[in-house]
């Protein structure tokens, strides 16, 4: 019996920590940054936003200081003597003068809209980059699950061999072997499903990156331990400086302020200078008149004042919208930081005390089952618990990285 026990122990596979796959690509922040940049560089949604920003800056050049002049031609119908005396051809030219401050206000509005479109392009790029990074995190988690499931199957196969050896002892039956073989078949099916899921995730990542769907991806691995989590208060303080949505809304508020100035300037009278020249069609010059014209906006003062009031209300609304958006984003920062911190704490627990106790219990049960002191059901349950703990630790690492991606969208440019 003692020799049989020694043989069985030699066949057992240790249930220690799963070693990292040296062939797997570690999912580092540098790798995620490259994937974000690649996705943003070629995606049509980002290209569309970029073209809108270009158009907005082209609109700046379309703002005119001088309105178009007007020219006129008039012909007189009269008797010959009158036409000779007064001239029968009248040429006119009129040039409106710039309204003081109107050009500057129009240009300020166009520039603010241009800057807002640039920030909207950043919003699109950050959102797409975050989605791509999350796809990469899911793919790495799928690879981790496949490695763990593969390790589980290896353990089961060795344990089946151990069960066959035990069945040779007097008084033992083959029931444990049958149970283990049944469990092995189920776990192999689970592994096949995990591989199919992995293929789907790889295709989705290729779709985000604009690559052919069947482009291969090497196996990836998540960091072994959680990464540091930023302080929520510090991140909230950075929102006004770094969040592109807030920056875009601030620029639109500036555009609304410029619109108020435009409406106020349009209440002022407009001036134009004109020249009229009378000629006789026979070729003689008769007279030239130089004049100044002025619009009379006071007849529409109620309407003009209403336009100013409406513009001022929109300006104030834009400021309130920015404040409301800030609060929403700050709430998102708090949620992302909390999720990242909680996931990190759980990952540390599942790789520390929780794992160590489960591993010790599993090792004890394994030795006890070999000596027929514990039933197979206890060993399988203990092993499933240990497998679940390993997988949960990997999931919490992935959850933390995903939460930090959400935080990166809200407060980008973290060092």
Q: How many CB atoms sit inside 10 A of residue 132's CB? A: 24
Phi–psi pair at 372, nearest 5 degrees: 65, 25
List the structure tokens of 359.
């591993």
Residue 333, domain member (yes or no): yes
Residue 311, domain member (yes or no): yes
Instruction: Check residue 1 and give its pLDDT.
Output: 34
Instruction: Check residue 7 and give its pLDDT.
Output: 29
Pairwise CA distance, residues 189 & 352, whole Å? 30
Q: How many CB atoms sit inside 10 A of residue 202's CB? A: 23
Residue 325, domain member (yes or no): yes
Residue 311, domain extent? 2-64+119-270+300-410
Instruction: Check residue 273 and give its pLDDT.
Output: 95
List the structure tokens of 7.
């043989």
**What mean pLDDT comes out for the span 305-317?**
94
Using the predicted structure, report yes or no on whether residue 8 has a pLDDT greater than 80. Answer: no
Residue 394, domain member (yes or no): yes
Residue 279, domain member (yes or no): no
Share of the chain above pLDDT 70, in %: 93
Instruction: Tell me the pLDDT tens digit for each residue of 70-109.
Output: 999 998 888 888 888 888 899 999 999 999 999 999 999 9
Residue 69, domain member (yes or no): no
**What mean pLDDT comes out for the span 143-166?**
89
Residue 222, domain member (yes or no): yes
CATH number at residue 133: 1.20.1600.10
Residue 194, domain member (yes or no): yes
**What mean pLDDT comes out for the span 213-229?**
94
**What mean pLDDT comes out for the span 278-297?**
88
Given pLDDT bands bounded at 50, 70 and 90, which one contains residue 276? very high
Q: Which letter does DSSP use for residue 168 in this model? A: T
The residue behind tokens 């909390």 is 338
Helix orientation angle between 353-370 and 2-11, rounded to the nearest 10 degrees: 140
pTM: 0.82
Domain count, the chain: 1
């Amino acid at each position: 019996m003692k020799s049989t026990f020694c043989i069985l122990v030699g066949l057992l596979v240790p249930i220690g920590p799963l070693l990292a796959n040296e062939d797997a690509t570690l999912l580092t922040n540098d790798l995620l940054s490259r994937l974000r940049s690649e996705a943003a560089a070629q995606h049509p949604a980002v290209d569309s936003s970029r073209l809108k920003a270009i158009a907005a800056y082209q609109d700046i050049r379309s703002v005119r200081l001088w309105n178009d002049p007007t020219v006129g031609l008039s012909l007189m119908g009269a008797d010959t003597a009158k036409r000779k005396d007064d001239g029968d051809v009248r040429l006119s030219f009129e040039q409106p003068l710039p309204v003081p401050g109107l050009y500057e206000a129009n240009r300020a509005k166009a520039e603010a809209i241009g800057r807002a479109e640039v920030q909207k392009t950043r919003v699109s790029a950050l959102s797409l980059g975050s989605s791509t990074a999350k796809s990469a995190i899911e793919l790495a988690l799928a690879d981790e699950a496949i490695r763990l499931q593969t390790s589980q199957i290896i353990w089961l196969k060795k344990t089946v061999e151990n069960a066959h050896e035990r069945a040779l002892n007097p008084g033992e039956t083959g029931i444990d072997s049958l149970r283990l073989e049944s469990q092995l078949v189920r776990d192999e099916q689970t592994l096949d499903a995990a591989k199919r899921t992995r293929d789907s995730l790889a295709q989705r990542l290729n779709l985000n990156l604009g690559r052919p769907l069947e482009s291969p991806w090497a196996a990836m691995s998540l960091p072994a331990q959680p990464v540091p989590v930023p302080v929520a208060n510090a991140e909230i303080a950075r929102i006004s400086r770094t969040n592109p949505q807030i920056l875009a809304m601030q620029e639109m508020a500036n555009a609304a302020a410029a619109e108020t100035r435009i409406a106020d300037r349009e209440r002022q009278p407009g001036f134009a200078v004109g020249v009229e020249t009378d000629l006789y069609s026979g070729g003689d010059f008769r007279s030239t008149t130089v004049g100044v014209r002025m619009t009379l906006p006071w007849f529409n003062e109620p309407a003009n004042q209403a336009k100013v009031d409406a513009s001022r209300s929109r300006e104030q609304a834009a400021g309130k919208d920015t404040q409301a958006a800030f609060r929403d984003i700050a709430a998102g920062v708090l949620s992302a930081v909390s999720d990242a911190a909680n996931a990190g704490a759980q990952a540390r627990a599942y790789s520390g005390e929780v794992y160590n106790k489960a591993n010790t219990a599993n090792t004890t049960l394994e030795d006890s089952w070999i000596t027929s002191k514990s039933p197979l059901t206890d060993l399988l349950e203990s092993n499933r618990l240990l497998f679940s703990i390993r997988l949960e630790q990997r999931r919490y690492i992935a959850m933390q990285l995903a939460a930090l991606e959400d935080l990166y969208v809200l407060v980008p440019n973290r060092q």
